[in-house]
């Protein structure tokens, strides 16, 4: 597995999809920042300590990060077929189930890193604007929330990555489906029960963005675990054929 993980991260060198994801993260952070500069009744949201770090989580997730992570995950899985490297890998031989697990782990790491990048951007801006109003507890609270966002979003979108990889219809489809899937989160967030159940908003219940009861947190955990279960079933179906390999 170590070899496969090393190979997967090597394969991402100079990948345009990594740069697309980083660029998208920076851009969404910039757009939210500009949104915070707009005055409402003579008050600017950006002047409130913690607003930027707090609001960036759901907005970036719903509009950009979940879709970009799904795009990258599907690309990582689909590329072996599309770039015709699967034959060479089969002849090593590489166990396709392990290969897919390695690819999913890389996507998970990437998802967390994107959220940590967003955290760094929002924290630097907050520190620059009102350093004295930030407490260590607040900053570490947000750091934990962003980390859980990265982890949770990967779990929430894992069935889409698996499904698109199985359909072999190209990774851009993952972007479109996930964008729609995330956008529904805007509406489910209006109901207490639905927001705990719907995978995208369930992430925020777990990360602490929403004030939630223990039962809601349990419901959200179950929702995300169900997503992982779906993904595992789809990927297991894809990899049924290969055994006896590295």
Partner 1 sequence: MTNYIIETKQLTKLFGNQKAVNNVNLHVKKGRIYGLLGRNGAGKTTIMKMILGLTSITSGEVDVFGKNIKGREKQVYPRIGAIIETPGFYPNLTGTENLEIFAKLRGTPAPNAVKNALEVVGLPYKDKKLFSEYSLGMKQRLGIANAILHDPELLILDEPTNGLDPIGIAEVRDFIKNLSVERGKTVLISSHILSEISLLADDIGIIDHGVLLEESSMEELRRKNGNYILLHVSDVSKATLILERQFGLKDYSVHDDHMLRIYDTSLDMASVNKALMLDEVSVISSQLCNDTLEDYFRKITGGDGIA
* Contact residues: partner 1, CB under 8 A: 3-4, 6-7, 10-11, 13-16, 79, 83-94, 244-246
- In angstroms, what is the minimal distance from the CB of 81 to partner 1? 9
CB of 74 to partner 1, least distance (A): 16
Identify whether the C-beta of residue 154 lies closer than 8 Å to the C-beta of residue 107: yes
Q: Minimum distance between the CB of residue 113 and partner 1, rounded to whole angstroms?
A: 19
> DSSP letters of the chain?
-HHHHHHHHHHTTT-HHHHHHHHHHHHHHHHHHHHHHSEETTEEGGGSTTHHHHHHHHHHIIIIIHHHHHHHHHHHHHHHHHTT-HHHHHTTT--HHHHHHHHHHHHHHHHHHHHHHHHHHHHHHHHHHHGGG--HHHHHHHHHHHHHHHHHHHHHHHHHHHHHHHHTS-THHHHHHHHHHHHHHHHHTTSHHHHHHSHHHHHHHHHTSS---HHHHHHHHHHHHHHHHHHHHHHHHHTTT--S--
Q: Among residues 95 and 205, whose Cβ is nearest to partner 1?
A: 95
Using the minimum distance from each CB to partner 1, give the nearer residue, 95 or 201: 95
Smallest distance from the beta carbon of 10 to partner 1, in angstroms?
6
To partner 1, the closest distance from the beta carbon of 17 in angstroms equals 9
Residue 43 or 87 with smaller CB distance to partner 1: 87
Based on CB atoms, which residue is closest to partner 1, 91 or 190?
91
Least distance to partner 1, CB of residue 239, Å: 15
Residue 49 or 68 having the CB closest to partner 1: 68
| 34 contact partners, CB below 8 Å, separation of at least 6 | none
Q: Specify the residue, 75 or 119, whose C-beta has the smaller distance to partner 1.
A: 75
Quote the least distance from Cβ 84 to partner 1, whole Å. 3
Cα 187 off chain centre by: 19
Between 38 and 92, name the residue whose CB sits nearer to partner 1.
Answer: 92
């Amino acid at each position: 597995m170590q070899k496969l993980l090393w190979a997967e991260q090597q394969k991402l060198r100079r990948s345009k999809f990594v740069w697309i994801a980083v660029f998208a993260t920076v851009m969404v952070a910039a757009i939210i920042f500009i949104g915070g500069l707009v005055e409402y009744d003579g008050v600017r949201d950006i002047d409130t300590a913690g607003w930027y770090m707090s609001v960036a989580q759901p907005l970036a997730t719903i509009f950009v990060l979940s879709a970009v992570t799904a795009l990258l995950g599907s690309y990582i899985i689909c590329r072996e077929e599309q770039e015709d490297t699967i034959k060479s890998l089969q002849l090593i031989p590489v166990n396709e189930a392990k290969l897919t697990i390695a690819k999913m782990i890389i996507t998970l790491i990437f998802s967390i890193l994107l959220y940590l990048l967003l955290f760094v951007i929002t924290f630097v801006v907050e520190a620059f604007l009102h350093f004295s109003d930030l407490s260590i507890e607040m900053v570490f609270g947000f750091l934990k929330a962003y980390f859980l966002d990265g982890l949770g979003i990967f779990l929430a979108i894992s069935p889409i990555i698996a499904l698109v990889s199985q359909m072999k219809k190209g990774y851009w489809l993952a972007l479109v489906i996930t964008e729609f899937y995330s956008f529904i989160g805007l509406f489910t967030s209006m109901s207490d029960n639905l927001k705990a159940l719907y995978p995208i908003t369930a992430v925020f219940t777990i990360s602490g963005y929403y004030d939630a009861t223990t039962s809601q947190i349990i419901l959200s955990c179950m929702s995300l675990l169900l997503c992982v279960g779906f993904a595992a079933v789809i990927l297991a179906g894809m990899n049924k054929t290969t055994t006896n390999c590295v």
